[in-house]
Amino acid sequence: MAQIKKIFIICGEPSGDLLAGNLISAIKQVADIKISGIGGINLAKAGCEIFYNIKELSVMGFFDVLKKLPKFFGLKKLILEKIATDKPDAIILVDFSGFNLRLAKTINKRIPVIYYVSPQVWASRKGRINCIKKFISKMIVLFKFEEEFYKKNAVPATWVGHPLLDLVKPSLEKQEFLENFRISPEKKIIALLPGSRKQEVKLILPLMLKAARLINQAIPQTQFIIAKSPNLDIQIYQNEFKKFTLDLKIIDGKTYDCLNTAAASMVCSGTATLEAAIIQKPFLIVYKTNLFNYLLYRPQIKIPYIGMVNIVAGKRIVPEFIQFDAKPKSIADSILKFLQEPVTAKLLCEDLKTVKNSLGTTGAAERAAKHILDFIYS
């Protein structure tokens, strides 16, 4: 009887956990493989044996990384011990490049290392391509332009399409969603997605709420829903919105329903911008970090946009309000334009459809699983 193969998988953030869980589900559907690693609720649901939960790993900026350095060093040591004990046949790294590339360097190809969800080396710190070339056995990428980028740099890479095409689906009909959460069908709904990290919510939600107040002053028949990240305590949101008198509700774990129901949305930069693009409803991008982090990291970014939806489009189709431009009045004016100018909203939705079509076809996780299994068994 053939020995059961073993895979070790590492992700460090909620967005990576979502995609990693989807990938592991696809692998387990076609192969009897033992999978263990570091992740969150999605990987656990997919049948991965989690020996370290990512809840405390999320970082935002230089000082946050510094504060958590002992935790990261301890985790790296733990992983290397686990790898030495379990002797996996392959290691899958999912995003989380600051940690994962350093780990790959230490592993030094003693075990095959597959990278799923590429670091954004095409956008910043391009020198990391040398580390990838030397220490990563295979790249499995989500965007067509990434495959082209890696091939130009002599790195084996395969484009599988984006798994969010399978995952981004509202769970409820619009009327059912409104009834379940006691949301008025008579008022315009604006969704607020302030991020999945505690630090993001603390910085970005107050901006969004100030913009919401201005929107409400211009159009009193508006209501607001905050799409809460399942990884964060509700108190973080309540601490901010209790300062405002608005028709506002916090909705937990129903991000896609919030986006689908809203007339327009304010979305924190990150994976959520692609999720919003797939839903194809008008939205804008907001992002702010502390000044030191912005001044440290912004010069390293060599592309004109930070929203993935705009990067994929190759032009600014979705308004971006970043750092010094993230002013409540500017954000409110942009949302009001969506609400008051149907042509503007319609043109954006047409551009979003083009972006969605460029992400490939459904079944990305299944294609990725096949490439991984072919690689392991070859």
Q: What is the CATH number of the domain that holds 212?
A: 3.40.50.2000
* Residue 168, in any domain of the structure: no
Residue 84 and residue 11: Cα distance in Å, rounded?
19
d(CA 280, CA 245): 30
pLDDT of residue 54: 85
Q: Are 96 and 16 in contact (CB under 8 A)?
A: yes
Q: Are residues 245 and 283 in the same domain?
A: yes
In a domain, 210, yes or no: yes
pLDDT score for 74: 87
Q: State the residue range of the domain holding 82.
A: 6-163+363-377
User: Is residue 128 one of the residues assigned to a domain?
Assistant: yes
Is 294 within a domain? yes
Q: Please count the structural domains in the chain.
A: 2
Q: Is 338 domain-assigned?
A: yes
Express each pLDDT in 209-245 by its tens digit: 999 999 999 999 999 999 999 888 999 999 888 888 8
Question: Do 13 and 134 reside in the same domain of the chain?
Answer: yes
* 34/137 same-domain check: yes
Q: Are residues 125 and 198 in the same domain?
A: no
Assess whether pLDDT exceeds 90 at residue 69: no
One domain for residues 307 and 180: yes
Query: Could you tell me if residue 250 is inside a domain?
Result: yes
Same domain, residue pair 298 and 231: yes
Residue 135, domain member (yes or no):
yes
Question: Any idea which of 57-61, 171-175, 192-196 has the lowest mean pLDDT?
Answer: 57-61
By the 10 Å C-beta count (0-12 exposed, 13-18 middle, 19+ buried), 362 is classed as middle
At residue 1, the pLDDT reads: 35
**Contact assessment for residue 10 and residue 91, using Cβ atoms and an 8 Å cutoff:** yes
Would you state the pLDDT for residue 120? Answer: 85
Residues 137 and 65 in one domain: yes
Check whether residue 152 and residue 202 sit in a common domain: no
The confidence score (pLDDT) of residue 66 equals 63
Task: State the Cα–Cα distance between residues 250 and 34, nearest whole angstrom.
Answer: 38
Same domain, 123 and 63: yes
| Residue 169 maps to a domain | no
Same-domain status, 265 and 325: yes
- For residue 245, give the amino acid letter: T
Cα(270)–Cα(289) distance, integer angstroms: 13
Specify whether 180 is located in the same domain as 210.
yes
Dist. CA 188–CA 202, nearest whole Å: 25
Asked if 187 and 322 sit in the same domain, the reply is yes
Half-sphere exposure of 185 (CA within 13 A, CB side): 7
pTM, whole model, 2 decimals? 0.89
